[in-house]
Chain A
Amino acid sequence: MEFCGGHTHAILRYGIRQLVPKTVEMRSGPGCPVCVTATADLDKAIALAHLPDVIITTFGDMIRVPGSYSSLQKAKAEGADVRIVYSTIDAVEIAQANPKKSVIFVGIGFETTAPTIAASILKAQQDKIKNFYVLSLNKLTPPVMKALLDSGKIKLDGIVCPGHVSVIIGSHPYEFIPRDHRVACVISGFEPLDILLCIDKLVEQIEKSEPKVEIAYPRGVKPEGNKKALQLMEDVFEIGEANWRGIGIVPQSGLTIREKYERFNADKAFSVSLKPPREPKGCRCGDIIRGAAMPLECKLFRKVCTPESPVGPCMVSSEGACAAYYQYGTLENSQVT
């Protein structure tokens, strides 16, 4: 399984699925920040957007994901102030420029975005910005891998471990996987040769029955990770449970803002009432995120659900598995039936 959506895209973009022997089956994992955001959390972000004098800031794809009843994009069209930012620091600057508004950054992503979100909170603290808040939906990679493997529902032989996440956390946090689950782990970069090298190493480990954690992306990843980034995360966040689409509540898999930075915590500063979340009918994003189904097995794929009118998040996000299969399909699977 390739954990990361960036890997799914590279694998399809370069035709790697067709290149590897039929005995190697690649499954997409939950590594798409937009996709794993629970519908309930998305509903909360949309409700926050409708509060008076609130500006919602978030990363691009988030605004198009359908929630239970609406989307941030629809909220924007209805008059809510929703803005796309490329960096968390932009959100802090928007807060600075709009002192009479409350600026909430909807923080999604894994260990890659968490240090930058931590840095934005520290910047707001340092610059004494009182109208900046973070709705922390950040998630952690190794705990959800553990949850998937513990569930026993999907039998994996090897994991293409995420490249950018591993730049931050290093290779040590994956060591429980070969030790406790006998599953091979290789960290990969995103270039086609990186991925082929990674698959080669995985196959070798599996054939020798010697699962371990290897780094096939040494130009980016050190075993100990990026200590400065980890320190930033540690300072601002504590580990708590997180709600994953398709997987549910996973203990110890999310990041909550520590008490000393509580005044930046949107969950504490605002309260919204929410109707119970509902999933779009027929959408199999949950199964796809778990690796339990392939995009082509979803009945909505390419018929009802397209990048132009997505039903679920995996078709919205540029890191989503369905978007990758849609955009980079082969002639055989691109026919509308």
Chain B
Amino acid sequence: MDDSILLAHGSGGKLSHELVEKQFLPFLANPALNKLDDSAIFEASGRLAFTTDGYVVNPIFFPGGDIGKLAVCGTVNDLAMNGAKPQYLSLSAIIEEGFPLSELAKIVKSIKKAADEAEVNIIAGDTKVVNRGQADKLFITTSGVGIIPPGVDISGANARAGDKVLLSGTIGDHGIAVMSQREGLRFSMALDSDCAPLNKLVAQMLEASSNIHCLRDPTRGGLATTLNELARQSKVGIVVDEAKIPVKEEVKAACELLGLDPLYVANEGKLVAIADPADADKILTQMKKNSYGRDAAIIGEVTTEHPGKVVMKTKLGPSRIVDMLSGELLPRIC
């Protein structure tokens, strides 16, 4: 049988040290972390961005990623969505008793790989072990600090009438990839989660234009919820064109089968940008050069009409409201 996490791994004693020293440190090593002091120390100057997020995805391994990659990319992306260059992350793992060490090792390696790609260091961490049943295998919380370059002012409240709405690629990939692996709903399809760090894409976009007003990653609740958040926060209306929103055939098919709307399905490697119309094409060209923005498109624009609301021109021509997600995304019964 596989070696697995014991309650003693959370005791604070020998096994706890062993867990950190054998399972985490060899992979995540960096000068600040290696010291193993009670807190990590780093130099910083300028405007800083700070964020935190908890990850409880089920299942923890899914096509195209796992909870470790997600925990790094999610926090990196939250920083990037304010134009910050992510620098340091903390990582706290709550592990269920009995969790296989081999799986933990896979996840730590994946954390390392994602952190390397995003060029961030994990400089502080914690592990806790809880009784079987008190957590679902593994929960991870990451917090992150990033530096905002001078002159960058990005906020969900900055959209102005006339601005263009850009989307970095196909929607719904993550949600459908995870759902395809979920207990009781398993179906096989060649689709990977889009989980990815977007900080470099954002940096390239900021190089192309200093007139990007809003950035947001449409995670839970999907594109529809993000557009609504931006419309409400900026007190503007948003109009999008359904035909311009890229959706993969696999996602379309799965959504038709399950009775879901891709607009509400989660993404983990996409962003929405709202920018000055004069710069929109320039930003789009730049986005398409990055592999995470290859399928980017201008999907709509900002208007003074219907403030706080998102309207979509459907594929057939008429317009309708796009509301936020309410409740949970559940497959249809009939």
A residues lining the B interface (CB < 8 Å): 4-6, 9, 12-19, 31-34, 59-61, 64, 84-87, 90, 108-110, 112-113, 162, 164-165, 190-192, 196, 306-308, 317-319, 326-331, 334
Contacts and interface: CB of A to CB of B under 8 A. Distances in A.
Nearest to B330: A60
A109 to B, nearest CB: 5
B321 A318 contact: no
B314 interface: yes
Interface of B: 184-185, 256, 259, 261, 306, 309, 311, 314-321, 323, 326-328, 330-334
13 contacts: A13-B261, A13-B314, A15-B316, A60-B330, A61-B330, A109-B334, A162-B334, A192-B314, A306-B326, A307-B327, A319-B334, A327-B321, A331-B311
B309 A64 contact: no
B327 A64 contact: yes
A109 B333 CA distance: 7
A98 B323 CA distance: 41
Nearest to A310: B327
Contacts of B319: 15, 18, 330-331
Nearest to B313: A15
A164 B185 CA distance: 19
B74 to A, nearest CB: 26
Contacts of B256: 190-191
Contact of B328 (A15, A60, A85): A60
Nearest to B185: A86
A113 B320 contact: no
B220 to A, nearest CB: 16
Nearest to B317: A19
A334 B309 contact: yes
A194 to B, nearest CB: 10
B334 A112 contact: yes
A334 B333 contact: no
Given A164-B334, A318-B332, A330 B327 contact: no
Contacts of B332: 6, 318-319
Contacts of A196: 316
Contacts of A113: 333-334
Contacts of B320: 12-13, 15, 18, 328-330
Contacts of A191: 256
Nearest to B182: A86
Interface of B is mostly: loop
A305 to B, nearest CB: 12
A18 B318 contact: yes
B227 to A, nearest CB: 14
A180 B143 CA distance: 68
Nearest to A329: B321
Contacts of B333: 33-34, 59-61, 108-109, 112-113, 317, 319
Nearest to B237: A331
Contacts of B318: 14-19, 330
A85 B184 contact: yes
Given A109-B334, A112-B333, A165-B334, 4 more contacts: A307-B327, A319-B334, A326-B323, A327-B321
Q: Which 8 A-B pairs have the closest CB atoms?
A: A15-B318, A307-B326, A60-B330, A18-B318, A15-B314, A86-B184, A112-B334, A90-B184
A315 to B, nearest CB: 10
Nearest to A317: B333
A262 to B, nearest CB: 26
Contact of B259 (A6, A15, A16, A162): A6
A192 B316 contact: yes
B331 A60 contact: yes
A9 B334 CA distance: 13
Given A13-B261, A13-B320, A318-B259, A110 B334 contact: yes
B260 to A, nearest CB: 9
Contacts of A86: 184-185, 331
Nearest to A326: B323
A73 to B, nearest CB: 11
B316 A328 contact: no
Nearest to A111: B334
Contacts of A15: 314, 316-320
A330 to B, nearest CB: 6
Contacts of B316: 14-16, 19, 192, 196
A195 to B, nearest CB: 10
A83 to B, nearest CB: 10
Nearest to B258: A86
